[in-house]
Amino acid sequence: MYALALIRTFQAGLKSLRLHKLRSGLTMLGMIIGVGAVIALVAIGEGASHDAQEEIRALGAKNVIIRSIKPPSMREQMHGDWESFFRRWMAFYGLKRTDATRIKDTVPGVSRVLPMLTKRMNAVHDRREVGCQLIGTFPYYPEFTQAEMVAGHFLNTAEENTKASACVISLSLAERLFAGHNPLAEEIVVRGYESEQVFQVKGILRERADIEKLPQLPGSMGQTIAANVYIPLSTFKSLYGERNVDRSVGNLVLEAVELSEIRVEFDTVEDVLPALPLIDEALKAGRDERDFEIVVPIQEMVALRNQKARDTRMLLYIACISLLVGGIGIMNIMLATVTERTQEIGVRRALGATRLNITVQFLVETLLLCLVGGAIGVSGGWAFAEFREFLTGDSTIVKAWSVIMAFGLSVLIGLVFGLYPARRAAHLDPIEALRHA
Amino acid sequence: MADRNIIEIRNLTKIYDLGAIQVPALKGLNFEIEEGSYTAIMGPSGSGKSTLLNILGCLDRPTAGAYILGNDDVAHMSDKELSGVRGARIGFIFQSYNLIQQLNVIENIHVPLFYQGKDISDYYDHCEKLAQKVGLGDRLDHRPMELSGGQQQRVAVARSLVNEPLMLLADEPTGNLDSTTEQEILDILDELHAEGRTLLVVTHDDAVAERASRVIHLKDGQVDKDIRKQDSDRKSENQFQEA
């Protein structure tokens, strides 16, 4: 019986709100904007963080990436003396193969180490020539980077052992170099400053896209350039020497890097963080300058997660403020409504309504304003998020908790800000209220 | 008519406490209202008429004395209990009709039942019959705005009957109406009286008081005159039959 009475009260509430459509709409506007903003912003934030986490996961949560960087002394301006000139012009720095073996031998929990050599070259096929990155690496490279084969196979152990002139090219290079026809078993020429080598294409590799979109990660030495040619590490060494001398034409810079990158894979994610000081220790041996950097995807992930939590909290604060403002607006209108309907309140009291009846009646009206506003806000925010995903292609994720929270907050706001006007209505003196014109 | 008393007023006193001064509005009233009677309460302004109306309507509580409505002393009931008494035992008819604007005729008639916990779906026929009784059977879904003053007051009369009250309490029921419509409403009241309902009308209009079988005159918070007209009872019935 009470349930039915409550339903009737809701119906009556809807009726009085419909009586003043414009006013009800304007009153709900604050709520609609507040709730819509929460839904849309949370969805966009979740989507962005989802994308970023996917990208970091692509680098491998169990991995640590060590990259060669120019040490500070070589980045200095030339001082006019021969030593500084020489250090800049003929720069020898970076990771060595011994570093890779030392890490493998001394750091516990390391399952595999993937050394990588890179060189800036041009790939030529037919009359097309495309700037590319030549990468010498081991057969298990795709597993490390979650890259997948589109066609053919990746370099295998046999090719590694025989120093074969085999290569795997990235999908985007294949598209640019072969323009539609099948590159498998075709030959490409890799042309450098003073060399020209022929490789047979064994496979096409699709790398994890968008890695360069990560602003937290410094540009890696080659993987971000989508035009990649992968060859066996042994082939690379025998063709281009022990020291990978990278000459950039026109720059008059002669740099020598033995390994441009070492990727370290651990057995489990838990092994990664405790091992970081040990990796540092292993690399420090035999160095007087820090000519490497360590990128830890799992750390980036944790940092990103923390940042996301901060961002979400911020959004919630903003949302709470806008809902508060919306709630005050609603309370203001409800107070005006109570004044406007004083006589009706008096009549209802005379006809047997208790104070509780009146309180419930006005509380329900406020609640309805908030709920309807909340519902419009949720659908509006949702639609906005979907529309943005459609426009920009960035994923947006409407979280169930944000919908529940937005609704919960609407109800809470309705109850809190509806209670005062409702109680004021209920405590009007029926005699005075009846006399009110 | 039966002799059972619907209302017994004993030494009813109301003093308004204005802080610095205390204003006595009712100074110990005593009277009874019998079941089925038609009583008019008259008096000049300041006589305590409105105060008495509010107390009789259970909208206000007396400072002292007893007010027995039905079988209960309602003089010192709580606000919630008084709400229940108003809803169940009293049918209000106001000067300015006081219909609820957003509700249609049938919904307005139903309002007192809602506060008795009775759902409109179970009482629709009952409300419809009352609307027909006051001659508005063809305007069930009209809003008050769409009705004339006389029609609105008819709705109010139907509403006052919906919960089968012990008495109808009318406050200047024709105060806002022109003389033709006034006659219509007074005829309806006569009809209700003839049905055996108890009517209590507060008015300063002699034309209204003329219809009643008893007129209580108030003056300075006391009963000045209490006139029972044996023949006016018949007269009003005759008028109704002529109408």
Q: Establish if A352 touches chain B: CB-CB under 8 angstroms.
A: yes
CA separation for the pair B22, A385 (Å, rounded): 67
Q: Nearest by CB to B115, which of A15, A353, A437?
A: A353
User: Binning pLDDT at 50, 70 and 90, where does residue B10 land?
Assistant: very high
Interface predicted TM-score (ipTM):
0.91
A94: left (phi over 0), alpha (psi -120 to 50) or beta: left
Indicate which of A351, A365, A368, A427 best probes the interface with B, i.e. most B CBs within 10 Å of its own CB.
A351
Residue A231: its H or E element? strand A228-232
Cβ(A117)–Cβ(A233) below 8 Å: yes
Q: What residues in B contact A347, CB-CB < 8 Å? A: 94, 98-100
Closest CA to A228 of A120, A151, A66, A156: A120
Sequence letter at residue A168: V
Q: Give the gap in angstroms from C-alpha B238 to the nearest C-alpha of chain A.
A: 33
Q: Which candidate, A347, A333, A298, places its Cα nearest to that of A418?
A: A333
Show Cβ contacts of residue B69 under 8 Å, excluding neighbours closer than 6 positions: B6, B7, B58, B85, B89, B90, B166
Strand B38-42 vs strand B199-202: parallel, antiparallel, or unpaired? parallel
- The residue-averaged pLDDT of B211-228 equals 92
Distance CA(A84)–CA(A74), nearest Å, equals: 8
State the residue for tokens 């944000």.
A402
Q: Are A224 and A211 in contact (CB under 8 A)?
A: yes
B233 vs A96 pLDDT, higher one? A96
- A348·B98 Cβ contact <8 A: no
pLDDT confidence bin for B53, thresholds 50/70/90: very high
Cβ distance of B98 and A357 shorter than 8 Å: no
Mean pLDDT of chain A: 83
Q: DSSP letters along A362-414, please?
A: HHHHHHHHHHHHHHHHHHHHHHHHHHHHHHH-------HHHHHHHHHHHHHHH
pLDDT of residue A42: 86
Partners of B51 on chain A (C-beta within 8 Å) are none
- Report the alpha-carbon distance of residue A267 to residue A144 in Å, rounded: 12
Q: How far apart are CA B228 and CA B39, in angstroms?
A: 9
Lowest mean pLDDT among A221-225, A322-326, B108-112, B230-234: A221-225
Q: Decide if B80 and A355 are in contact by the 8 Å CB cutoff.
A: yes
Give the nearest chain A residue to B58 (CA atoms): A350
* Residue pair A359/A422 in contact by the 8 Å Cβ criterion: yes
Percent of chain B, pLDDT > 70? Answer: 93
A434/B115 Cβ within 8 A:
no
pLDDT in tens, A187-223: 899 988 778 889 999 999 887 654 433 333 333 443 4
Dist. CA A26–CA A391, nearest whole Å: 29
Where do the structural domains in chain A lie, given as residue ranges?
2-54+303-435, 70-290
Q: What mean pLDDT comes out for the span B82-99?
A: 93
Distance CA B133, CA B130 (A): 5
Q: What is the mean pLDDT of residues A268-289?
A: 83
Tens-digit pLDDT profile for residues B133-175: 999 999 999 999 999 999 999 999 999 999 999 999 999 999 8
Q: How far apart are CA A12 and CA A10, in angstroms?
A: 5
Chain B CB contacts of A352 below 8 Å: 83-84, 86-88, 112, 115-116, 163
Residue A74: pLDDT over 90: no
Query: Using CB atoms, which residue from B88, B115, B119 is nearest to A4?
Result: B119
Question: Tokens for A321?
Answer: 């403020």
Residue of A nearest to B57 (CA): A350
* Distance in angstroms (rounded) separating the CA atoms of residues B211 and B189: 9
Query: Can you tell me which residue has the tokens 């024709």?
Result: B174
Residue B91: list chain A partners with CB under 8 A: none
Segment among A223-232, A399-408, B3-12, B101-110 with least mean pLDDT: A223-232
The full DSSP string for B70-100 is: TTEE-TT--HHHHHHHHHHHEEEE-TT----
The Cα–Cα gap between A210 and A227 comes to 14
Length of chain B counted residue by residue: 243
Q: Does A349 touch chain B (CB under 8 A)?
A: yes
Cα–Cα distances in angstroms (integers) from residue B62 to residues B9, B25, B52, in the given order: 11, 10, 9
Count CB atoms within 10 A of the CB of residue B21.
7
**Mind listing the domains of chain B with CATH numbers?**
5-242 (3.40.50.300)
Average pLDDT over residues B45-61: 92
Query: Quick check: A355 contacting B, CB < 8 Å?
Result: yes
**Chain B nearest CA to A328, separation (Å):** 26
Q: Are A283 and A292 in contact (CB under 8 A)?
A: yes
Q: Chain B contact for A11, CB < 8 A? A: no
**CB-based burial, A233-258: b 16+ in 10 Å, e otherwise:** bbbbbebbeeebbbbeeeeeeebbbb
Q: Would you call A208 an interface residue with chain B, using a CB distance cutoff of 8 Å?
A: no
* pLDDT score of A425 more than 60: yes
Mean pLDDT, rounded, of chain B: 89
Question: What single DSSP character describes residue A107?
Answer: S
The DSSP-derived string for A244-273 is EEEEETTTTEEEEESBSEEEEEESSGGGHH
pLDDT at A55: 73
- Residues A284 and A275 sit within 8 Å (Cβ to Cβ): no
- Distance separating alpha carbons of residues A418 and A408, to the nearest angstrom: 15
pLDDT at residue A219, as a whole number: 38
pLDDT (0 to 100) of residue B115: 94
The DSSP-derived string for B169-192 is EEESTTTTS-HHHHHHHHHHHHHH
Q: What is the DSSP track for A193-219?
A: SS-EEEEEEEEEEEPPTTGGG-TTSPP
* Distance separating the N- and C-terminal Cα atoms of chain B: 23
Contact B70, B81 (CB under 8 A): no
Phi, psi of B67 (to 5 degrees): -130, 105
